[in-house]
Amino acid sequence: MAFSNLPAAIPCCCPTLFFLAGGLAAAGYGLKEYRLVKKIEDTPTSKIRSAAVGLVEIKGRARCKDILASPVSGVKCAYYHVSAEYLHRSKNSDNWITFYSDSSSKQFYMEDDTGKMLLDPAGGQVSIKPDFSSSGNLSGKALFGLIDIKQLDKKVLDFLEANPTIKAAFQQHSGTTIRVYEYYIEDGDELYALGTAEPIPGASSAIGNENLLLHKGRGEGYMLVSDSQESRIVGSRKTTALISLGAGLLMAAAGLLGVLLSLSVLAL
């Protein structure tokens, strides 16, 4: 094999190398999701009263520890997340790009018929359906104020008036369509949670109730909070995982074949 041709082969391999890297990244994501799905499937549901230290799956209702107000709608809640995206138009495609996001960092309780447990969503995935959304322009005008177009909801405008720093970030994208989503967990919302239970320092015992904190464990820990039922979470995530894994592996295989072909053609 004439390895002296190798440098010449690099530009030729570049597209296939990108294909290979993209495929591996997609397969990696699919694999990570698949492992989470297996954890959800393989972990039996614990009653909060008798939950033990380690990976725990619980089902119950959210209970506020500190009553928060969702930033845009002002709804009393235990947790909130707000995100804003602008529409980025390019020749090939239109993409929504997130330019602002904020989540509450307060812990809250989850309660079932047997007791309640403290939850720390920090660092974990909170997968809930949006409770409020609005899309439109910041000013409601386009083409130098000549045309009226849809403006963002009044709640969003009021929220921006009260927060000048955030308004400045919105104003940077005033010429494009912006969409805002608000997600919140209200007191009493039905939830599913999977995470690592650990004793709260200073708690009287390591058994259930208010002595344990459910959070994202160290290393490859899991923390998932969702307002969907377990079967739905498994169903949707398994589909995503398998599609990502399958498509990623196919892309990676095609990329690898492309690299091998380019190298062999050049070498021979």
Partner 1 sequence: MAFEVALICCGGVFIGLLALLVFYLFSVYNGLVSLRNNIDKAWANIDVLLKQRTDLIPNLVETVKGYMKYEKQVLTDITALRTSIMGAQGPQETATHSEAISAALKTIFAVSEKYPNLKANENFLKLQEQLSSMENQIADRREFYNDAVMLYNTRIKSVPDSIIAAMFHFTESEYFKAAEEEKKAVQVKMGG
Is 253 one of the binding residues for partner 1 (CB under 8 A)?
yes
Give the shortest CB-19-to-partner 1 separation in angstroms. 14
Q: CA torsion sign, 140 to 141 to 147 to 149?
A: negative
Q: Are 37 and 96 in contact (CB under 8 A)?
A: no
- Which of 12, 24, 25, 43 binds partner 1 (CB under 8 A)? It is 43
44 near partner 1, rule: CB under 8 A: yes
84-123 footprint of partner 1 as x/- string (CB under 8 A)? ------------------------------x---------
Q: Are strands 54-63 and 108-111 parallel, antiparallel or unpaired?
A: antiparallel
| Residue 70 binding partner 1, by CB under 8 A | no
Binding of residue 52 to partner 1 (CB under 8 A)? yes
List, in order, residues 6 or more apart from 165 with CB less than 8 Å away: none
45 binds partner 1 (CB under 8 A): yes
| Cα dihedral value 163, 168, 174, 178, nearest 10 | -50
- Answer yes or no whether residue 204 interacts with partner 1 by CB under 8 A: no
240 binds partner 1 per the rule CB under 8 A: no
Residue 257 engages partner 1 in binding (rule: CB under 8 A): yes
221 binds partner 1 (CB under 8 A): no
Position 240, amino acid? T
Instruction: Kindly state the DSSP code that residue 4 receives in the 8-state scheme.
Output: G
Q: Does 249 bind partner 1 (CB under 8 A)?
A: yes
The DSSP code for 137 is B
Of the ranges 93-101, 141-149, 177-185, 249-257, which one interacts with partner 1 (CB under 8 A)?
Answer: 249-257
Nearest residue to 166 (alpha-carbon basis) of 99, 96, 103, 86? 99
Q: Name the 3-class secondary structure at 59.
A: strand
Q: Is 47 in the site for partner 1 (CB under 8 A)?
A: yes
- What three-state secondary structure class fits 94? strand
How far does the chain reach from its first CA to its final CA, in angstroms?
7
**Amino acid identity, position 100:** Y
Q: How far is the CB of 209 from partner 1 (least distance, A)?
A: 10
What residues line the site for partner 1 (CB under 8 A)? 38, 41-47, 49-50, 52, 54, 114, 207-208, 249, 253, 256-257, 260-261, 264-265, 268
